[in-house]
Structure 1
Amino acid sequence: MLDFGHKVEKLYVQPYRDAEFSQPVPENKFSALINPATYNISYKFEFDDSQAPGTSATNMKFNRILPRDFNFDFLFDGTGVVKDMSVLSLGIANPFAEPVTVTEQIEAFKRKIIDYQSDRHRPYYLKIHWGELLFKGVLKQMDIEYKVFAPDGKPIRAMAKCQFAESIADVQRAAEENRESPDITHERNFNATDRLDHLTFKIYEKDEPYIQVAEFNGLDGFRKIAAGTKIYFPPIEK
């Protein structure tokens, strides 16, 4: 059963000037005409599928996680029938109200969301809010489909099919990645139960570089290492 007592929450897009999403542009906030029936988020991963000659298969080596894509359609309506975000509020247009044309609505959308920032030399960063959804990114692509026309050929309904790409500031990304890459130097406290080759394998996913690690740390050997010794694991060539 539908609960008509709940206020409909509107999907909106808030532009920001900076990658850290700390400088909003309040006057450019854009609300969709009708809340979406669906939206989709794509998760993409990149693997190295290079294969040695003469082999029948390969080990898919993980390379990176690609930015997520968010796809959503914005409806623009110039009939005056659609007066609110909710599909429950479709009703008879006010005969005394002059509806905003589809062309004007799309131009307002472009001005608030797409237009180039001359002082920043780029379009805005965007946050999309709706219910539990919070997506941070940029508008990657927009295709406008004009669907209904007046007798004089002017569009009175259009759909903007938008694809947004996720964008995360470098500082936040570094914190989220936990910096467990073999491309940076790691520090470990050596415990009595540790073995240098085992620690090396955890860092590099191979134990062969343990000799390089011992040399880097100025160790006389790798079997009798005192507990509490700080061991540094440097970047290695792949």
Structure 2
Amino acid sequence: MDGSISKLRIVSLPGPDTGGKGVTGSIGVGDILQTLTTKIFEVQINPETISRNFSIKYNEPDTKGTPGTELQFDKVNPEELELRFILDGTGVVPSAGLSADLVGSIMSALPAEAQGAYVPVRVAQLQAAVYDFKDESHRTPFLLVQYGKLVFMGLLLNMGINYNLFSPDGIPLRAEITLKLKAHTPFKDSMALLSLLSPDLSRHHLVLAGENILRICDDVYEDEKYYLEVAKANKLTNFRNLQPGTQLILPPIDKTAKR
């Protein structure tokens, strides 16, 4: 364990390759990895409560006037998940450092005086990830929620935003977000999808001004010596002067292997 705090993560998954067979098709790992760089949202502050709702549907026989009729089992309804979390743009929440959420990392790194844009940008990012229609399929995205041992795949039912603090210019500085989702697993290779959430998965990092490969390796792997593996994975020939805006692949590294 590296001592870092695990953040609740919401991933907007690309649609399966249905091949005209409905929504039970397969999906390419390459498509998922591309999605993880653009459609991943990590909460700024982990939720205090998470609600999971389970229900069963029964049919009541149409036997009028007969007391005590036994209910007949119909089906187990899909699980529903409700998340509540806060976005704070007042600058009082410390930056979480490196994250798979590129937008969140950049916004969190802004100086306190520039945090006024935090809430509007993050709300727009979340909406694009969970709510916006996909042109090719004319539906909202499939979503994967991961937090600790909780792994939930489903569709958005409702997104609520409660703004409760504003700047003198009327810009929202704090928002309470409520998401309600219904379980749905449309992919044949769901276990392959879930394996992509492993902490050993190759991650992506957007290089910021002043960063170098040694510092990045020290932050991610807790050791500068892995810079050669990172340089090799990114086919870097001159890695001493990384340009801001460069996107690096951070490959999984077995720290127990003999070197």
Whether the TM-score (by the shorter chain) exceeds 0.5 is yes
> Which structure dedicates a bigger proportion of its chain to helix?
2
Report the TM-score when normalising by structure 1: 0.61
1:65 alignment counterpart:
76
Q: Which moved more, 1:95-104 or 1:40-49?
A: 95-104
Q: Identify the match of residue 114 of structure 2 among 92, 98, 101.
A: 98
1:121-176 alpha-carbon deviations (Å, 9 max, x no partner): 11110110111000000111011111112233322101111101100238689xxx
Q: Over residues 17-74 of structure 1, what are the superposed CA-to-partner deviations in whole Å (9 max), with x where a residue is unaligned? A: 2256735221111101111111011001100123412211210100011111000013
Contact 1:117 1:124 in 2 (8 A): yes
Structure 2 letter corresponding to 1:127: L
Q: What count of residue pairs does the alignment treat as equivalent?
A: 164
Aligned letter for 2:125?
A
Match of 1:152 in 2: 169
Task: Tell me the equivalent position of 2:241.
Answer: none
Q: Does 1:13 align with 2:14?
A: no
The code of the aligned residue for 2:129 comes to K
String of CA shifts for 1:67-124, please: whole Å, max 9, x gaps. 11000013211111113469xxxxxx98565213322221111122221110121111
Contact kept? 1:145, 1:158, Cα under 8 Å? yes
Q: Which residue identity is paired with 2:63?
A: A
User: What SS class does the counterpart of residue 137 from structure 2 fall into?
Assistant: coil
Contact 1:147 1:155 (8 Å CA) reproduced: yes
**Residue in 2 that maps onto 1:44:** 55
State the distance in 2 between where 1:96 and 1:84 align: 10
User: Runs of 5+ in structure 2 lacking a partner?
Assistant: 16-22, 98-108, 191-259
Q: Which has the larger radius of gyration?
A: 1
The reply on whether 1:166 has 2:183 as its aligned counterpart is yes
Runs of 4 or more, structure 1, over 6 Å off, are: none
Q: CA RMSD in A?
A: 2.8
Give the % identical residues.
Answer: 25
For 1:104, what is the secondary structure of its paired residue? helix
Q: Unpaired segments of 5 or more residues in structure 1?
A: 87-92, 174-238
Partner of 2:126: helix, strand, or coil? Answer: helix
* Aligned residue type for 1:58: T
Give, in whole Å, the separation in 2 of the partners of 1:34 and 1:139. Answer: 21
Which one of 125, 138, 142 corresponds to residue 108 of structure 1? 125
- What's the TM-score, normalizing by structure 2? 0.57
Q: Quick one: distance in 2 between partners of 1:84 and 1:166? A: 32
